[in-house]
Amino acid sequence: MKFFIDTANIDEIREASDMGVIDGVTTNPSLISKEDGKFEDIIRQICEIVDGPISAEVIATDAAGMIDEARKLSQIHKNVVVKIPCIREGLKATKALSSDGIGVNMTLVFSPSQALLAAKAGAMFASPFVGRLDDISHYGMELVQQIVSIYNNYSFETEVLVASIRNPLHLVDAAQMGADVATMPFKVIDQIVRHPLTDIGLKKFLADWEKVKARS
Ligand code: E4P
């Protein structure tokens, strides 16, 4: 299972990358808007820190415009994967870009049928947004289970990238379901590493070691 970090914040990306568990990064216009600097420069900087798929989203909503933006974004670095929304024009763009060897992360996926279309169009990743479904009283993880099962039925190569993760249980459920990738905000990465018994255990070991040191 691959772990991506869902942020455009360079300090968070550096810290998570230093932990050695980050395989890629996802950004979106809202995350980019929280940081200073030009979009292209932020993406370039991220690519220098993490050697894996780095998602950068297009703004155009027509296929020609999306393709144009995607081509420019893919020039920034070989690892850039273009994020395209799951709309009709997005499918057209995905088909054209994936045929040209440009990786697409089909974003804003909220139904199994949309995920099926993303795979048919040749997307590298399909991103179901679990937290946003939970927010409107739908079980987001149910969608992930459906997509994993559909993709397995037909051996689609598109990877299931669980997005809009809000807590550690989303990650554990995604792993149990066999999702290929989970993208998490830094806060969730920090939450999954922590366990009170680890902290208590470490404190006790260090206290006991003081007794050993006192002997010499
Ligand atoms: C990642 O690809 C998505 O853009 C992101 O996970 C959305 O998360 P949110 O629903 O918390 O904004």
d(C-alpha 9, C-alpha 42), whole Å: 9
- Check if 7 has its Cβ closer than 6 Å to any atom of ligand 1: no
Alpha helices in 50-111 (DSSP H): 63-76, 88-99
Tell me the sheet residues that pair with 80.
Answer: 54
d(C-alpha 115, C-alpha 29), whole Å: 21
Q: Which candidate in 34, 83, 95, 203 is catalytic?
A: 83
Q: Kind and range of the H or E element at 169?
A: helix 168-177
List, for residues 166-196, the tens digit of each pLDDT value. 999 999 999 999 999 999 999 999 999 999 9
Pick from 113, 130, 109: nearest CA to 173: 130
Residue carrying the six token digits 């199994």: 112
Question: Residue 216: its pLDDT value, please?
Answer: 72
pTM of the model: 0.96
Minimal-distance CA residue to ligand 1 atom 6 = 164
Question: Residue 106: its pLDDT value, please?
Answer: 98
Q: What pLDDT band is residue 71 in, cutting at 50, 70 and 90?
A: very high
Q: What is the Å distance from ligand 1's center to 33 Cα?
A: 13
**Using an 8 Å Cβ cutoff, are 83 and 56 in contact?**
yes
d(C-alpha 68, C-alpha 95), whole Å: 14
Q: What pLDDT band is residue 32 in, cutting at 50, 70 and 90?
A: very high
Question: Residue 70: its pLDDT value, please?
Answer: 98
Residue carrying the six token digits 């670095």: 77
List, for residues 104-160, the tens digit of each pLDDT value. 999 999 999 999 999 999 999 999 999 999 999 999 999 999 999 999 999 999 999
Q: What is the Å distance from ligand 1's center to 95 Cα?
A: 23
What number of residues does the chain have? 216
* Four-CA torsion 84, 64, 62, 118, nearest 10 degrees: -40
Question: Residue 39: its pLDDT value, please?
Answer: 98
List, for residues 72-96, the tens digit of each pLDDT value. 999 999 999 999 999 999 999 999 9
- Check if 134 has its Cβ closer than 6 Å to any atom of ligand 1: no
Tell me the sheet residues that pair with 183.
Answer: 4
Provide the 8-state DSSP code for 125. E
Q: What is the Å distance from ligand 1's center to 170 Cα?
A: 13
Distances (CA, A) of 77 to 39, 68, 156: 13, 16, 26
On the question of pLDDT at 4 being above 80, the answer is yes
Which tokens hold the place of 144?
A: 């992930």
